[in-house]
């Protein structure tokens, strides 16, 4: 999450056993590139490096990033449910 507090491109490598919920994935996809990963035959996490590189070349949408950081990291939360839902 701390990487999203910068003005730099961010790539989230989504592990097979830690996928985002639909709502959470939609919110995160607005502020960074999500690259799926999988396990190879030796149980190592692998992903498409070209997809990662392309994500690092994407311009940062500062308005979306500021909104995300404020919503999920800075604003007081009356209900932690939004954050928990994003993690599921």
Q: Which residue has the higher pLDDT, 44 or 19?
A: 44
Instruction: Place 20 in a pLDDT band, splitting at 50, 70 and 90.
Output: confident
Give the residue extent of every domain in the chain: 2-75
| Burial category of 28 from C-beta neighbours within 10 Å (exposed 0-12, middle 13-18, buried 19 and up) | buried
Pairing of strands 45-47, 33-39: antiparallel
Spatial distance between the Cα atoms of 55 and 88, rounded to a whole number of angstroms: 23
44-59: pLDDT as tens digits: 999 999 999 999 999 9
Contact 68, 31 (CB under 8 A): yes
* pLDDT tens per residue across span 72-86: 888 877 777 777 777
pLDDT on residue 50: 97
- Report in angstroms the alpha-carbon separations of 71 from 4, 18, 55, 58, 66: 12, 22, 23, 22, 8
Which has more confidence, 54 or 71?
54
């Amino acid at each position: 999450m701390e990487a999203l507090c910068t003005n730099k491109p961010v790539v989230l490598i989504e592990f097979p056993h830690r996928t985002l919920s639909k709502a959470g994935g939609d919110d995160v996809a607005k502020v960074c590139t999500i690259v799926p990963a999988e396990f190879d035959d030796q149980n190592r996490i692998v992903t498409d490096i070209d997809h990662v590189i392309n994500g690092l070349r994407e311009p940062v949408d500062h308005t979306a990033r500021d909104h995300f950081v404020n919503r999920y990291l800075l604003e007081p939360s009356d209900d932690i449910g939004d954050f928990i839902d994003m993690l599921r």
